[in-house]
Amino acid sequence: MKKVNVYVTLRESVVDPQGTAAEQALHNMGYEEVKSVRVGKLIELAIDGAESEIEARVDEMCKELLVNRVIEDYRFEIEEA
């Protein structure tokens, strides 16, 4: 069994209101060194199969369901579970 971490982030051209709110809150808390915040999501999958098959299947899952490719980018890592 393999563990797959899928990292989903908004495209750079898309405004990130949650990131902006987090940045402002951090500044209000005294963390002035923070220059930018972007918020994304992590999706963890546990999958059986060969790594080459898993890579193709996860890419398909991302394109079909897990990622809104109009406004989001993604990458994933496969590791031993």
Q: Which domains does the chain have, with CATH numbers?
A: 2-79 (3.30.1280.10)
Ranges of residues in the chain whose predicted pLDDT is under 50: none
Interatomic CA distance for residues 81 and 47, integer angstroms: 9
> pTM value?
0.89
Interatomic CA distance for residues 36 and 75, integer angstroms: 21
pLDDT, residue 32, reads: 98
Report the relative pairing of strands 2-10 and 72-80 from DSSP bridges.
antiparallel
